[in-house]
Amino acid sequence: MATTAVTDASFQSDVLESDKPVLVDFWADWCGPCKMIAPALEELSEELGDKVTIAKMDIMENPDVPGSMGVQSIPYLVLFKNGEQAAQMRGAAPKGQLKQWLESEL
């Protein structure tokens, strides 16, 4: 299962109302570290797709949700469970570290 794009308009239904946990990657095209972790997130979406949805939100195209959440630096990963923020991670990390963090929070 590949990562899915989330927008300001779809955030409520795709993330907050999801029946399984959703990891949202707040990113932008100009962000080097965001591009560095993108392949790892794609791989994790395949490996953990039955447990969690991995979604990406471009903060330049969708400023409302990141603004209301106070996103100030990217990449910024937020895990949502039952419509609530359950965990956050700022900055880039290797795939192994991302996977370990995510599995520990699920």
The answer to whether residue 106 is domain-embedded is no
DSSP-assigned letters across all residues of 23-89? EEEEE-TT-HHHHHHHHHHHHHHHHSTTT-EEEEEETTT--HHHHHHT--SSSEEEEEETTEEEEEE
Q: Which amino acid is at 40?
A: A
Residues with active-site annotation? 31, 34
- Model pLDDT, residue 104: 97
Query: Does the pLDDT value for residue 100 go beyond 90?
Result: yes
65 Cβ partners below 8 Å, 6+ apart? 8, 11, 57
How many domains is the chain built from? 1
Looking up residue 40, the CATH number of its domain turns out to be 3.40.30.10
Query: Does the pLDDT value for residue 1 go beyond 80?
Result: no
The answer to whether residue 45 is domain-embedded is yes
Q: End-to-end alpha-carbon separation of the chain, Å?
A: 18
| Cα–Cα distance, 18 to 32 (Å, whole number) | 29
pLDDT tens digit sequence for 18-69? 999 999 999 999 999 999 999 999 999 999 999 999 999 999 999 999 999 9
The answer to whether residue 34 is domain-embedded is yes
Q: Which amino acid is at 55?
A: A
The answer to whether residue 46 is domain-embedded is yes
- Model pLDDT, residue 77: 98
Q: Which amino acid is at 30?
A: W
**Domain of 40, in residue numbers:** 4-98
The answer to whether residue 93 is domain-embedded is yes
